[in-house]
Amino acid sequence: MTGLPKAAEDFRILVSSPARFRLFMLSRLPMAYMAGLRVVSLTDEGATVSVPFKYLNKNPFGSIYFACLSMAAELSTGVLCMMHTYKANPAVSMLVVHMEADFTKKAVGKIVFTCPDGKRVQEAVEQTKVTGQGITVHTTSIGLNAQGEQVAAFRYTWSLKVKSPAAA
């Protein structure tokens, strides 16, 4: 057991089950499912997501298409938001409101994106639940190839907001 609240720990366990999370992706994130994204790890500190180089993910230049890289990077930040908003009381909505990316090396092979901003996300979710005010949280995800070389860096701004009772 981690230091996570019960609902967040339940979500972490759900994500840790490859079969259950693949079913979730198939129903809610079908493109991520088709791209072969995998949650490698999820803790209160951060998340790691991998994306393989395969036929469906390739571009004409022999590397992973930037949109597939973006999906993996977003999932590494979004799964942290999802973990901390899962079964939240009051319910909290989440939405990407900004994204920036830098591509530094050709992405071939399996690329692993890591976001170390779990505590920042948790604090933002708690703040919006206490104040009832919307808040933004900035997250970063770094993609590394099998040699440990950085291929991309993504920065996502998430908007977190307590849902109105009618929307919950």
- pLDDT over threshold 50, residue 87: yes
When pLDDT is averaged across residues 143-166 and rounded to a whole number, the result is: 94
Please, which residues have CB within 8 angstroms of residue 64's CB and are 6 or more apart in sequence? 51, 53, 57, 58, 107, 108, 111
Give 45-61 pLDDT, tens digit per residue: 999 999 999 999 999 99
d(CA 106, CA 140): 19
Q: What is the reported pLDDT for 92?
A: 97
- Structure tokens that stand for 126 in this block: 């708690």
CA 18 to chain centre: 16
- Say which CATH architecture domain 6-162 belongs to: Roll (3.10)
Distance CA 62, CA 121 (A): 35
Give the pLDDT band of residue 5 (cuts 50, 70, 90).
confident
Mean residue pLDDT across the chain: 94
Amino acid identity of residue 61, one-letter, is: F
pTM of whole model > 0.75?
yes
Judged against a pLDDT cut of 80, whether residue 1 lies above it is answered with: no
The continuous run of DSSP H or E covering 68 comes out as: helix 66-85
